[in-house]
Amino acid sequence: MGGAERITGGAAHWREGGPELTWTDNSGEEQAKSKDYLLVLLFFPQTSYTEFTFNGAYRHNGRQFIRLSEDCNGQPVHIYASFTRYDGSDISPSSYLTVG
């Protein structure tokens, strides 16, 4: 595990309805495959609420919007993201994204 290439140039920004994650499409470099799926964990420390996104956007898409309930919007959040192989055979090390 950990052989898939981690997120490059990752960032997160609040949009209306939830955070939007962006990254650089580095498909073809090292172990980065265009059909790797995004995996995201959002943790809201003030409420201990967590949100998971499995099989999110492909690496080559470069972005993923995550719709949240109004209670979560704009709240402090810790975001951990990685990529999984399209066949589930591997996962990248996670990256911590700050929300701008």
Query: Please, which pLDDT band fits residue 3 given cuts at 50, 70 and 90?
Result: confident
Q: Is 12 exposed, middle or buried, given 0-12, 13-18 or 19+ CB atoms closer than 10 A?
A: buried
Mean pLDDT (the chain) is 93
pLDDT of amino acid 100? 73
Average pLDDT estimate for 46-54: 93
Domains present along the chain, CATH in parentheses: 11-97 (2.60.40)
| CA separation for the pair 72, 49 (Å, rounded) | 9
Average pLDDT estimate for 67-74: 89
Say if residues 26 and 4 touch (Cβ distance below 8 Å).
no
* pLDDT tens, position by position, 9-46: 999 999 999 999 999 999 988 889 999 999 999 999 99
Sheet containing 49-53: which strands, arranged edge to edge? 49-53, 37-44, 78-84, 95-97
Q: Is 61 helix (H, G, I), strand (E, B) or coil?
A: helix
